[in-house]
Amino acid sequence: MAIVNGTITNSSPTSASSARETTIAEIGQHVDERVTLRGWLYNLRASGKLLFPIFRDGTGTIQGIVPKAEVPERVFETLKSLTLESSLTVTGRVRADARAPSGFELDVEDLSVTQRIPDETPYPIQLKEAGVDFLMEHRHLWIRTPRQSAILRVRATIMRAAAEYFDNHGFVRTDPPILTPNACEGTSELFEMEYFDDGKAYLTQSGQLYVEATAMALGRVYSFGPTFRAEKSKTRRHLTEFWMIEPEVTYMDLDGLMNLAECFLTHIVRRVLELHSADLKTIGKDITKLEAVVAGAPTDNSEDCSGSRSGFPRLSYDEAHAMLIDAHERGLLESMHKYGDDFGSPDETYISSQFSKPVMVHRYPASVKAFYMQPDPLDPSKALCVDVLAPEGYGEIIGGSQRIDDYDLLESRIQAHHLPMAAFQWYLDLRRYGSVPHSGFGMGIERCVAWICGLEHVRETIPFARTLNRIYP
């Protein structure tokens, strides 16, 4: 091996001297040129004196053509018996081919193997169908398959677009602690640990309480980091460790918050459509469903959320309840929603599948929501909160609310929820000293990825999912 311009190379393929090193993602810029790719053998098909290898390099896959008569014998023989996922460097000429899935093929000229996987210990994930448990047990390898790689690329863009939206609209990123002395979203789902002599500490369930403090300092803020919930249920929407992005804005009310959520989601979907049509195709997502989400949204690309919007439907809890009762009566929904209860997964799935855009359900009964939510002045039994349900039955992706800004009311809610008053003194200080109305929401990245990619289960939306029954690998 040698190091050339900071890249470790094998002794280069003999005829590669004039070939440009590139990636599969960029190969369209090199049609009719000779290029070198560094990656792995993803698949191999032989047909008489022709080999059809599929190479992958992390940015995509491309099919190679290797006619025995046209390449050195060494190249043909090496490739012919090469084991899947062996690592290699390949040089060849790029040809545009409308029939190829990527639009291009590589006429292989030379090849050098970095590591050949021995025949006795083949790559565990062969291309035939494998069960999900097996794949999750081999997640460290499963992520190499084109579909999983595509999902991870889309995830990265969703995370970048999410942060970018706030960065471009005057928000300051403020990172809350992961180790916390108090609960934010109910006490039944806390991961608990000993914290030296101070007693118990908990892994954060949400950065919200802390971004409320940083909002009072900086106005518009957001946090973005891992959050933890000891979810004891096995559902396709719950992880025990997931990433949340949480904006918090002073002097913003519930309507302003709904506008913000709409502009934010519009920006994310636009970004994914702009950058990932090939990946969405690999994943099998129908992009017309995503195009419908952003259809009609202002196209000035600024996604400025000041001023009202009406793109995403808005339903009160009462209206959503009526919709569920109607669905039950028409036999479209098995369970009957009980007024006053939270919505279950089937309820959310039903409501969200009625719309092509995300739907915002607001003003839930305060009794099913968190202690910090501001009561609706028109009906104090309701909270000024919103859940955004993704289309296509994906359910809740965003939860948020206006926060209680009155000291006495907040104190009484902390008491009523049997939360430890001492641990919340700093949070009450925010209402003691210059309290203002303020609002914020949290979006779980994995729920958003599951929706945008059209995935059955959130376990495929994060490189290494943590669930009730999995902490390996």
Residues forming the site for ligand 4AD (CB under 6 A): 184-185, 206, 208, 229, 231, 238-239, 242, 244, 246, 396-400, 440-444, 446-447, 458
Please list every residue from 388 through 427 that binds Mg ion, using CB under 5 A: 399
Residue with Cβ nearer Mg ion (217 or 368): 368
Residue 43 carries which side chain, given as an amino acid letter?
A: N
Q: What angle do CA 237, 190, 404 make, to 5 degrees?
A: 90
Residue 247 lies near Mg ion (rule: CB under 5 A): no
Least distance from ligand 4AD to the Cβ atom of residue 451, Å: 10
Least distance from ligand 4AD to the Cβ atom of residue 56, Å: 29
Q: Which does 37 bind (CB under 5 to 8 A by kind): Mg ion, ligand 4AD, none?
A: none
Least distance from ligand 4AD to the Cβ atom of residue 71, Å: 50
Omega within 30 of 0 (cis) for the link into 473: yes
Q: What angle do CA 186, 192, 195 make, to 5 degrees?
A: 125
Q: Which does 282 bind (CB under 5 to 8 A by kind): Mg ion, ligand 4AD, none?
A: none
Least distance from Mg ion to the Cβ atom of residue 231, Å: 12
H or E element at residue 452: helix 445-453
Residue with Cβ nearer ligand 4AD (38 or 238): 238
DSSP state of 78: H
Rounded Cα–Cα distance for residues 447 and 459 (Å): 10
**Distance set, CA 323 to CA 69, 278, 339, 351, 369 (Å):** 68, 37, 12, 8, 21
Alpha-carbon dihedral angle through residues 8, 14, 17, 18, given to the nearest 10 degrees: -130
Q: Which does 19 bind (CB under 5 to 8 A by kind): Mg ion, ligand 4AD, none?
A: none
Q: Which does 208 bind (CB under 5 to 8 A by kind): ligand 4AD, Mg ion, none?
A: ligand 4AD
Q: Which residues pair with 180 in a beta bridge?
A: 202
Q: Which does 303 bind (CB under 5 to 8 A by kind): Mg ion, ligand 4AD, none?
A: none
Q: Do residues 287 and 277 lie in contact, with contact meaning Cβ atoms separated by under 8 Å? A: yes
Site string for Mg ion, 346-385 (x = CB under 5 A): ----------------------------------------
> What token pair was written down for 186?
């109910």
Residue with Cβ nearer ligand 4AD (40 or 312): 312
Least distance from ligand 4AD to the Cβ atom of residue 390, Å: 9
DSSP state of 470: B
Least distance from ligand 4AD to the Cβ atom of residue 455, Å: 13
Least distance from Mg ion to the Cβ atom of residue 431, Å: 23
Q: Which does 242 bind (CB under 5 to 8 A by kind): Mg ion, ligand 4AD, none?
A: ligand 4AD
Residue with Cβ nearer Mg ion (185 or 279): 185
Rounded Cα–Cα distance for residues 193 and 217 (Å): 30
Detail the DSSP E strand segments found in 68-138.
87-96, 104-115
Q: Which does 285 bind (CB under 5 to 8 A by kind): ligand 4AD, Mg ion, none?
A: none
The radius of gyration of the chain's CA atoms, rounded to the nearest angstrom, is: 26
Pairing of strands 34-47, 104-115: unpaired
Least distance from Mg ion to the Cβ atom of residue 79, Å: 52
DSSP state of 403: B
Residue with tokens 């997931």: 242
CB atoms within 10 A of CB 160: 14
Least distance from Mg ion to the Cβ atom of residue 343, Å: 10
Residue with Cβ nearer ligand 4AD (104 or 242): 242
Residue with Cβ nearer ligand 4AD (110 or 185): 185
Q: Which residues pair with 46 in a beta bridge?
A: 51
* Phi–psi pair at 106, nearest 5 degrees: -120, 120
Residues that bind Mg ion (CB under 5 A): 399
